[in-house]
Chains A and B, each alone.
Chain A
Amino acid sequence: MKSHDIKFELNGEAVAVTVDPNDVLLDVLRGRLGIKSPKVGCDRGDCGTCTVLMNGRTVRSCLALAVEADGAQIVTLEGANNRKWTQKLQKKFHERNAFQCGFCAPGVILSATELLEKNPAASEHDIKEAIAGNLCRCTGYEPIVRAIAETAKGR
């Protein structure tokens, strides 16, 4: 296999890395670049724990080849603090005990960030739909939905 030298913006900083065609973005972020907020869950796009923002949209980093990130802007939870809703969500999650083990939290917060950036007046149904692809085995979702709803309402 021919390896590829790729460059992309990761959490606001330029990074350059050499990857093989079969390297997966999630594995390169975690194993090579020290970014640990995206998690390896189902590793096939169903659970949402590997969620990152790619060019402003949430994507499954377990379903992207690393080489596809060439020229892209990647933001993980580590670099999302300057986004309008992320910190508010994090504070509210903390306040409302909306995560327990925390494994799903980075993905949930990025999905909620994308939702509120598009639709700050999101209804409970919108919230449930937006995080439908983020599985949580601890909370039963209710405190998560409540925390996102309260963040949206600015309460």
Chain B
Amino acid sequence: MPITAEFEYVRPKDMEEALHVFSLYKEKARALAGGTDLVVHLKEGLVRPEVVVDVKSLPELGGLSLSARTLRIGALATFTDIIESAQVKERFPVLWEAALTVASAGVRNRATVAGNICSAVPSADSAPALALYEAEVLVRSLKGERRIPLADWFTGPKRTALQPEELLTAIELPVPVLKHGGSYMKLSRYEGEDLAQGGIAALVLSDTTYRVAACALGPVPGRCPKTEAVLNGSKLGPKVLEKAKEALLGELSPISDIRSSKEYRLHMAQVMLERALQAAVSRLFGKGPKYGAGSIC
């Protein structure tokens, strides 16, 4: 199917030129990285930009880099880059596990983590893991740089805090200081290529604090602070699990759609919470399933 909409294509020679284009065209400009969402949206007429800015020419957006304190995921880093990184697997295993569940190999080769959170669909697989690891989103415009905590990034379904003249340059995650175990549970209709009907990520740290985050179970993906408050300081057992599940229900607001009903999503969210927490705790102690075996169907 050809794209019927007409637009100009720009490959900026440097960051300044790119930011000038975004400053000039604002919402009429669209950044192109992997294109796995943008090209579909162009074909379907969901976006009608005047100019498409191919940011793959900007070296400062590339790559993954890990320092002692921070993992920097450049805006051009693909899900395949995440999966192939031994450092991500070792230090941020829940992000690694979530990356494995995204679409298919051929899509992951082009789709970027940055694009995933810019598309900001409620089912974004990378979002719960990024929320657990307390990611910050770095954006730039001609006016300068802003750091946006992931908690403030998603402002609604397919909406973010990114302003029209801004470009996402990187996502930064602080390296967890404490030893931790985690898990991403994704509910899908079949193994392989599917969007999440619901997703729960959990992290337990060696000081018995817990982090829980969800996707596809409300208008925006994100942390579940009430559930975390119930869990914090407790050893995982049947009583605290029941209380945590109850708290979780109060924090979710899923919809009924073609993939599942609201009631099914709420029921399965509790199942996923229990399994994610159990896997996280066993992994903290070096047991449990290997990372990458998280998805349930």
- Give the B-binding residues of A (Cβ under 8 A): 1-2, 4, 21-24, 27, 40, 43-46, 48, 51, 57-60, 62-65, 67-68, 111, 114-115, 128-130, 132-134
Contact = CB atoms under 8 A, between A and B. Distances in A.
Given A129-B192, A132-B192, A63 B104 contact: no
**Most chain B Cβ neighbours within 10 Å, of A22, A48, A64, A67:** A22
Contacts of A58: 105-106, 109
Report, nearest first, the 7 A-B pairs whose CB atoms are least far apart.
A133-B104, A132-B192, A21-B9, A22-B3, A57-B109, A58-B106, A63-B39
Dominant SS among interface residues on chain B: loop
A1 B35 CA distance: 19
Contact of B105 (A44, A45, A130): A130
Given A22-B42, A43-B1, A129-B192, A111 B6 contact: no
B7 A22 contact: yes
Nearest to B4: A22
A134 B39 CA distance: 19
> Which one of B5, B6, B105, B110 has the highest number of Cβ atoms from chain A below 10 Å of its Cβ?
B105
A130 B54 CA distance: 28
A134 B103 CA distance: 11
Contact of A4 (B9, B43, B191): B9
Interface in B7-53: 7-9, 32, 35-36, 39-40, 42-44, 52
Contact of A1 (B1, B8, B39, B107): B8
B116 interface: no
Nearest to A60: B106
A60 B193 CA distance: 14
A46 B35 contact: no
Contacts of B169: none
Contacts of B1: 24, 40, 43
Contacts of A68: 32, 35, 54, 56
Given A24-B39, A58-B109, A130-B105, A2 B193 contact: no
Contact of B8 (A21, A111, A115): A21
B80 interface: yes
A57 B106 CA distance: 8
Contacts of B40: 44-45, 63
Interface string B94-129: 000000000111110110000000000000000000
A67 B36 contact: no
B2 interface: yes
Given A24-B2, A57-B80, A65 B106 contact: no
18 contacts: A1-B6, A4-B9, A21-B52, A23-B2, A24-B3, A27-B2, A40-B1, A44-B44, A45-B39, A45-B107, A58-B109, A60-B106, A63-B36, A63-B40, A63-B110, A132-B104, A132-B105, A132-B192
Central interface residue in B4, B9, B193, by most chain A CB within 10 Å: B9
A43 B39 CA distance: 10
A132 B103 CA distance: 9
Contacts of B8: 1-2, 21
Nearest to A55: B109
A22 B43 CA distance: 9
A65 B105 contact: no
A64 B42 contact: no
A90 B105 CA distance: 20
Contact of B106 (A22, A44, A133): A133
